[in-house]
């Protein structure tokens, strides 16, 4: 590391005190314009780079946000990250990322690491199928804000930025019912997770409204493979008795669609299909798959805004609010018999 210029070097070169340099650099009001100018010039000349670490140590603020997601490379989450980064960089915040891979142990470790790095706040979408939120509570107890996005721990009261899973699922179900479907099969992820509960709830509410029977539910890991295998099995068993498949992501929807096509069913004439999350491929499958666009980047932007605004002006009253972002229905051929 080549010797970096410090405020002391600038001070010495200018024959003034380093505290004045510090103030000038921070645009403190009680510094004369002339001094400021001199300082800025000299700083540029000496190629001064502020040592943020030192400032952070002093001010106990790092201007850094931590974000922990289950999987960085999943379309939805990478959009969220992009949104977070967008707002953060506007406000001069860094973003440190960590992924839990949906494992509690890694989530704990990630949170721990972020805390050690003295982030000013943590945005987290918790690992699936876990209810033990003690590690989160500890962070909050230490006065570092933790806000949830997309997923959340039920027993932690803090700001949440969620998607309108229940409403949009209801809207989607309604649309599919109007296409003539009566018996629904739902391909769900782990039902201990709030988002899947909410989506199922939305679907069943709508079915009830139309006085249709509750949806059949299969918990799977929502991959292409497991979903097509499941459908294949159901077809072989002859226990096939649904005319609509609502999958809780696009991979599973596509797996179901391909398995059904292979078994000789036509989509959407015999079975209606919908997915979730608007992965790019769902637009190009045959038929294209109806899905829900979740606007991950907007969610990220909003979550970042909430937590950064809170960090800059902690208002204890607003801490426990829950915001819900609107998703968008993307109706495509897989669920549209009539145009």
By CB under 7 A, residue 112 contacts DNA? no
CB of 50 to DNA, least distance (A): 4
Q: Report the residue from 19, 28, 82, 129 that binds its own copies according to the rule CB under 8 A.
A: 82
90 binds its own copies (CB under 8 A): no
Q: Which does 35 bind (CB under 5 to 8 A by kind): DNA, its own copies, none?
A: DNA
Q: Tell me which residues in 21-80 interact with DNA (CB under 7 A).
A: 22-23, 25-26, 29-35, 48, 50-51, 54-55, 57-60
Closest approach, Cβ 114 to DNA, in A, equals 16
Q: Please, which of residues 277-316 interact with its own copies by CB under 8 A?
A: 279-286, 296-297
Which member of 12, 19, 41, 57 binds its own copies (CB under 8 A)? 57
Question: Per CB under 7 A, does 17 bind DNA?
Answer: yes
Q: How far is the CB of 27 from DNA (least distance, A)?
A: 11
Burial 161-193 (b: 16+ CB within 10 A, else e): bbbbbbbbbbbbbbbbbebebeebbbbbbbeeb
Smaller CB separation from its own copies, 69 or 207: 69
Query: If binding is defined by CB under 8 A, does position 118 make contact with its own copies?
Result: yes
Binding site for its own copies (CB under 8 A): 1-2, 4, 49-54, 56-57, 60, 62, 64, 71-75, 78-79, 81-82, 85, 89, 92, 94-99, 109-110, 113, 115-118, 141-144, 251, 254, 258, 279-286, 296-297
Binding site for DNA (CB under 7 A): 4, 6-8, 15-20, 22-23, 25-26, 29-35, 48, 50-51, 54-55, 57-60
């Amino acid at each position: 590391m080549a010797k970096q210029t410090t405020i002391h070097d600038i001070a010495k070169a200018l024959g003034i005190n380093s505290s004045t340099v510090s103030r000038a650099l921070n645009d403190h009001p009680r510094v004369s314009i002339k001094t400021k100018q001199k300082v800025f010039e000299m700083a540029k000349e000496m190629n001064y780079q502020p040592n943020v670490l030192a400032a952070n140590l002093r001010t106990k603020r790092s201007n850094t946000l931590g974000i922990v997601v289950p999987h960085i490379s999943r379309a939805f989450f990478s959009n969220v990250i992009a949104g977070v980064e967008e707002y953060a960089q506007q406000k001069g915040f860094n973003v440190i990322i960590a992924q839990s891979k949906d494992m509690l142990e890694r989530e704990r470790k990630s949170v721990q690491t972020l805390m050690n790095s003295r982030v000013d706040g943590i945005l987290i979408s918790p690992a699936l199928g876990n209810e033990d939120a003690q590690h989160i509570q500890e962070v909050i107890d230490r006065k570092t804000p933790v806000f949830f996005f997309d997923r959340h721990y039920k027993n932690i009261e803090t700001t949440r930025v969620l998607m309108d899973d229940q409403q949009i699922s209801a809207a989607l179900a309604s649309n599919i019912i109007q296409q003539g479907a009566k018996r629904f099969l739902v391909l769900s992820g782990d039902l201990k997770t709030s988002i899947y509960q909410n989506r199922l709830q939305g679907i069943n509410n709508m079915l009830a409204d139309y006085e249709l029977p509750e949806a059949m539910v299969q918990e799977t890991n929502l991959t292409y493979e497991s979903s097509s295998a499941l459908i294949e099995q159901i077809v072989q068993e002859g226990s096939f008795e649904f005319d609509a498949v609502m999958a809780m992501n696009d991979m599973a929807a596509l797996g179901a669609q391909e398995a059904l096509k292979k078994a000789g069913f036509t989509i959407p004439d015999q079975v209606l299909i919908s997915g979730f999350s608007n992965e790019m491929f769902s637009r190009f499958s045959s038929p294209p798959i109806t899905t829900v666009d979740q606007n991950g980047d907007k969610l990220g932007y909003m979550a970042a805004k909430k937590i950064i605004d809170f960090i800059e002006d902690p208002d204890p009253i607003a801490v426990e609010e829950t915001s819900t972002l609107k998703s968008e229905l993307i109706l495509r051929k897989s669920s549209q018999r009539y145009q």
